[in-house]
Amino acid sequence: MKSSDLERAHVRVSGQVQGVFFRDSTRQRAEELGLTGWVKNLPDGRVEAVFEGPSEKVREMVRWCEEGPRHASVENVETGFESASGDLEGFEVR
């Protein structure tokens, strides 16, 4: 796979997204899609994540974030796309 086929998405998800297994569900879904990156809670109540991998899988993950896990209530997803750095290994909950 060419590096041009790889993409990175940096997302910040707002709504009822903490205390509803958002981070663990995000990790599970990202691993199912074969993506690398991380997810963490922010002090302001949002969840922040970085996903890296094949462009179509990254975009599928961003769409998943717009819904979130069953008990989440997503109000907004801010997304920035950039070139993949290739410096991430695995997917971690921070």
- What sign does the CA torsion over 84, 94, 23, 27 have? positive
Which among 8, 12, 29, 41 is annotated as catalytic? Answer: 41
In angstroms, the CA 1 to CA 68 distance is 29
In angstroms, the CA 20 to CA 47 distance is 11
Which among 8, 23, 27, 46 is annotated as catalytic? Answer: 23
Q: Which of 17, 22, 24 is nearest to 76 (CA)?
A: 17
* Residue 76: active-site member: no
User: What are the catalytic residues?
Assistant: 23, 41
